[in-house]
Amino acid sequence: MGKISIITLLVIFITQIVVLGPRLRKDINKKLSFKNTYAIQNVKTGKDIRVHDAGIEDGRKIILYDHKNWECITWQFIRLEDSSFLLKNLYTEKTFQPSEPPTPGVSLSQKTLGGSSLQYWEFIKQPDNTFLIRLKGTDLYVTISSSETNSDIILMPKENSINQQWRLVNQTPWI
């Protein structure tokens, strides 16, 4: 009985490789060909912007998370005509915007991409090659609420603080 089970499992495993192998290679090659993909890393903490628990639902909090070369931490930058950007998460294929009308202290949450100017971000280069990230049309900047993992990312007026300084880390994750 034990030999039959092992043989059955081996046949299932080989079948999965034959059937799914080409699909997995195609998916990995597609992911590796994305351009303009970055982790958005806070200068103070070395942690990145991420969707909480890599959930795919709209309304998920945008949080600070340890740096990894993962899809859920990688954002594709889509340049708009006015030099602002839409940011598309490689894993969820969604973006982020304020969870409520933009006011100081409001948190960011995940939202389906497109259709709102609340998804337009301006990256303002600093002399040290870091960036301030401003919600287009406002005086509010992407800011960490704490240095703790899973803490909220919020919008605040300009503070001249490393809580608002970000670096872009080029990434081409395949997982």
Q: Helix or strand or coil: residue 25?
A: helix
pLDDT digits (tens, 9 = 90+) for 18-67: 766 665 555 555 555 567 899 999 999 999 999 999 999 999 999 999 99
**Res 1 pLDDT > 70:** no
What is the CATH topology of the domain spanning 35-170?
Trefoil (Acidic Fibroblast Growth Factor, subunit A) (2.80.10)
Rounded to whole angstroms, how far apart are CA atoms 21 and 17?
A: 5
10 three-class SS: helix
Rounded to whole angstroms, what are the CA distances from 37 to 31, 107, 168?
10, 23, 9
Record the pTM. Answer: 0.83
Among residues 62, 57, 38, 59, the alpha carbon closest in space to that of 145 is found at: 62
Q: Say yes or no to pLDDT of 167 above 90.
A: yes
For the chain, the domains span 1-33, 35-170
- The predicted-structure confidence for 85-109, as pLDDT tens digits, reads as follows 999 999 999 999 999 999 999 999 9
